[in-house]
Homo-oligomer: A and B are copies of this chain.
Amino acid sequence: MLVMGVDAGGTSTRAVLATAAGECAGFGRGGRGNPTSSGIPTALAGVRGAISGALEDSGATLADVAGIVIAMAGHDARGGRSDWILDPLREEGFTGTLTFESDLLAMYSSGAVAPVGYGVVCGTGASAVRVEGGRIVATADGLGWLLGDRGSGFWIGRSAAAAAVDELDGLGPETALTPLVLQAAGVAAHRSDRSAEGRPAALEQLVRVLYAQAPVQLAAFAPLVFDAAEDEDPVAVRILNAAGEQLVRTLELVGAEPGPVVAGGSIVSRDGAPQRLLREHLAAAFGDQPFVLVDSGAAGATTLALRHAGVDVDESVLARLRAGIPV
């Protein structure tokens, strides 16, 4: 028996074909897979690309697959409708069951098999969930860049922009972030140039550039904060400490009985001292509970597909799955 787990993300998609013992029989990648953020045609291409890749990798066909789980953000946003992807799969010979699951549950399931535990994700956005009985029973934050996502990549990137703006406007201290942000934004004005009304020309140019783009693009400045923190810029270190505190606070909002903490997302899973700082914040918050870092929800989506097929996924099955999936 074979099942397929698909981690359909906003930037890329991964598909894993696995046996009941957790052996990875095939692996494939696709492009953007979330129909809410990318539209159905793009998401369909991303998900089908990843599934085809996994099938080709293994030599199996869709007719051999008993069940597929697709994990994505906003998995219930289409009112549970799955025809956009199920119809094409049926045409290609798929006769099994297709289930959508939360990307956060998949991320948690990539790192832990315990029925009770916690997931915290920090990429462009940030949120935390409590899992009980293998289902999400509580969620905190994930409220988007305008209202929440505290401690997220957007939050860190906006803090970098704000630090630069504050220094140029005379409100904040000098920071290594200012030249980094000005350079990344393509601002050419010299920092000592002044406009007619007494403000730095660089500030006016920076503001123009930042309002000309979508707000969420501020997340692109997050890596600058990591770079500046590596060089011990105090403002950058303060931003990352504050981000860590925000993530811990979000995690505590869903906290109840003890359980493992699984963390994922581009911001916490990068290498480097500042990321370790963030992870230490998170690990410390839940004391002596296991803390697991995962780099995607692919193993978790596959775990969920195995469970839907009646397989009891234990630590050893999950470990085998994780070991078999290429990084």
A positions within 8 Å CB-CB of B: 76, 102, 129-130, 136-141, 143-144, 146-148, 158, 161-162, 165, 169-171, 196-199, 203, 207, 210-211, 215, 218, 249, 253
Contact = CB atoms under 8 A, between A and B. Distances in A.
Contact of A198 (B76, B139, B147): B139
B147 A196 contact: no
A95 B24 CA distance: 83
Contact of A147 (B139, B147, B161, B199): B161
5 contacts: A102-B197, A146-B211, A147-B162, A147-B207, A171-B253
A249 B76 CA distance: 45
A34 to B, nearest CB: 16
A141 to B, nearest CB: 7
A76 B201 CA distance: 14
Q: Which of A129, A137, A143 has the most CB of B within 10 A?
A: A143
The A interface, classified by DSSP as helix, strand, loop or mixed, is mixed
A207 B144 contact: yes
Nearest to A148: B165
A62 to B, nearest CB: 29
Nearest to A144: B211
B147 A165 contact: yes
A2 B171 CA distance: 43
Contacts of A129: 197
A212 to B, nearest CB: 11
Contact of A143 (B140, B165, B197): B165
A14 to B, nearest CB: 23
A262 B215 CA distance: 33
A231 to B, nearest CB: 24
Contact of A138 (B144, B146, B199, B207): B199
B165 A76 contact: no
A255 to B, nearest CB: 11
A199 to B, nearest CB: 5
Contacts of A130: 198
Contacts of A102: 197
B148 A169 contact: yes
- 3 nearest A-B residue pairs (beta carbon): A138-B198, A136-B197, A137-B198
Given A139-B199, A141-B169, 9 more contacts: A130-B198, A137-B197, A138-B198, A140-B199, A143-B165, A144-B211, A147-B161, A169-B253, A171-B249
Contacts of A137: 197-198
Nearest to A76: B196
A178 B215 CA distance: 26
A210 B147 contact: yes
A257 to B, nearest CB: 15
A140 B211 CA distance: 18
Contacts of A146: 158, 210-211, 215, 218
